[in-house]
Amino acid sequence: MRFAHDEKALSGLAVPLSSLRSARSPGCGEFPDLAAMGDLAASWDLGLVQLLPVNDTGSQTSPYSALSAFALHPLYLRISDFPELSRTSAAAKKLAAEAESLIARFGTADSVPHEELLEAKLGILWRLWEELGHGSRTELDRWILANPWVRAYAAFVECKRRNDGKPWWEWASLREPTKADIEGLWSEASLSSRLDFWAWLQLRAEGQFAAAASHLAKLGIELMGDIPILMNRDSADVWSQREVFDLSLVAGAPPDMYAELGQNWGFPIYDWQALEAQGFGFWVDRLREADKYYSAYRIDHVLGFFRIWSIGQRAGSGYLGRFVPEEDISGQELEALGLDSARIRWLSRPHVRLSSIEAACGAEAADAILAVLERIGKEDLFLFRAGIEGELDIAEAARASGTKLSPASIDFLGRAWRDRVLYEFKPGSFAPAWRHYEASAWPSLSDSERGELESLFSRKRAASESLWARTGRRLLGVLKAAVPMLPCAEDLGAVPDCVPQVLGELGILGLRVLRWTRLWRLPGQPYQPLSEYPRLTVATPSVHDSSSLREWWSTEADRGMVWAFLEDCLGRGIGPCPETLDAQAVALALEAIARSNSRFVVYSIQDLIAMSPEKRPADPRRERINVPGTVGEGNWRYRMPASIEALASDAELGAKVARLCAARQR
């Protein structure tokens, strides 16, 4: 779908579809609620609505943990809108009443009751299919023919159901299916109705989502989707298209100020060579599917199209990894620096001293040694045993040996495992450990040796930058040419210098989050003036992985510095710096961001509602969508504290949002 607003500056809102609340929604937003949200956005003079991914994630609450790159989540279906229920039969009336009862049962929930609501909906939908759905046979057959991806998806979901929800690698059979295997499942009479059921849900989901998207387009509202770069290992795509994924590695992020040991996302990386050989068909198909609904899309973790942090399958953290692709360091290059094989082993394999083991493990020292370590000759030095390939193996080996090591001992062994200057990711190929200068072996090198290694690391990094630029330019060029949607990039994190350059060349918008857009290399690390944000960017006060504006202000922000910055951006006095942001202070902060030079300014729905003293929650922590790196009960369950209808009737809030849009246009 082509983006209609050309070069016009736009204001928009970001909201997870699941978070929408209306008089018709049973505890979770549904596709038709998006149309109502579009009406509200239009009344507020907003020109864009941005969603999180809406793919089927099964019982997983994270929208970034999809079972399919193509299938929509049945959770978002409005059962009462199914054409099968327009009949006057007793069965239709009974099922319609059951669907309506979900509103009374779940509608007042403060957070999304994901699992319970999904189970209830699927129960009703299955009976609806069994009793009334087969009349859609001709329509369904045509749709399946036009959407061949649904055959692997339906087979995967049904096999997963029959295997008690276990991941595919734990199934008794069909762990590595061929296309013939999948087609064979569709030929089994005992499976026929169940597979058709899953496909029928996708037919109806497409109809409801497309209708809502069309409504927004008629209002002149652009709809921006979110395309996660990675796929869940336990997904129909990895299960059925194994050839385009590299399951020997998992993706993550290197250590930073928020994650001391980096992040391990658990998702496999792509085999880009295999994808290129097929003309990047998997990605082109994904974008064409999204193009049915969206006029713009957010490329999640765009850095992964340049290089992605990759770690071994047995890693428990994200610390020991490397970028793929990357210019690696060979054993010969290390030998050329005067390092013999013993010195290289000293730098690349953790050598654990007996005194350290005894100090950390105490009475458990002998058990720790027995479980995972082996002595070097008669020295008081130990290496990790062969077969230990990551932190996960340490805990597993301890259990297998019958020892019961305390968490403190396991933690020590994990730290010892990560203690190295060089990471040998395959025999004879090395990368510097992320904080190699903190490794216990680093001080054992002479000043000249450290200098030569740092110089080698620097040369490899420079060569890698060129490689990353070529890779990103090629891959993103394919994406941009595939569909008419406007691409926007989530380019947060440790961004290589080549990334903004390539994004600019391709006309892809980057992302600027106020709290992280600072001149980090200048004294005091001042905030970059909003007037200096690049035009090809989307500016925002917060994102789904961050705290809301209010919570950031209360718990994280350097308030005095930020308040002075906002005052400077607005060009007028705004009073003393507050300890907490009341509704008027939120409006001032958002007005400042509205004046950024970015092409789009997008506000999270929480930050807009925070301008209403009556509608916003008392505790700003309730505005949080997700805390990265955690599996908390509240993650991905945020629900708007007020309904779309209630927000639409709030004239004062509507006027405040409209003023933001007016300030943006000025």
Q: Where are the domains of the chain?
A: 10-220, 333-444, 509-665
pLDDT at 249: 97
Sorted by sequence, the CB contacts under 8 Å of residue 565 that are 6+ apart come out as 526, 527
Place of tokens 């047995």: 314
Contact yes or no for 60/552 (Cβ under 8 A): no
pLDDT at 88: 83
Distance CA 158, CA 165 (A): 9
**3-class secondary structure, 261:** coil
Cα–Cα–Cα angle for 370, 373, 379, rounded to 5 degrees:
105
Length of the chain: 666
pLDDT at 164: 97
pLDDT at 138: 93
Architecture of domain 10-220: Alpha-Beta Barrel (3.20)
Q: Is the link from the previous residue into 325 a cis peptide, with omega within 30 of 0?
A: yes
User: Consecutive 10-residue runs of the chain (666 residues): their mean pLDDT?
Assistant: 88 98 97 98 98 97 97 98 92 95 96 98 97 89 97 98 97 96 96 96 98 98 97 98 96 89 95 96 97 97 97 95 97 96 96 96 94 95 95 92 90 97 97 96 96 97 97 97 97 92 97 96 95 97 97 96 96 96 97 96 98 97 91 91 98 97 85
Distance CA 72, CA 205 (A): 6
Helices assigned H by DSSP within 390-496: 391-400, 407-418, 447-482
What the block records as the tokens of 381 is 């030095």
Give backbone dihedrals phi and psi of 246, rounded to 5 degrees, phi first. -105, 100
pTM for the predicted model, two decimal places? 0.95
Place of tokens 């990386």: 269
Distance CA 211, CA 218 (A): 11
pLDDT at 630: 80
Contact yes or no for 453/445 (Cβ under 8 A): yes
Largest CA distance in the chain: 86
Q: Which helix (H) or strand (E) holds 499?
A: helix 498-506
Within 13 Å of residue 322, how many CA atoms lie on the same side as its CB? Answer: 20
Q: Is the dihedral of CA 517, 523, 524, 526 positive or negative?
A: negative
What the block records as the tokens of 275 is 């994808």
Contact yes or no for 489/301 (Cβ under 8 A): no
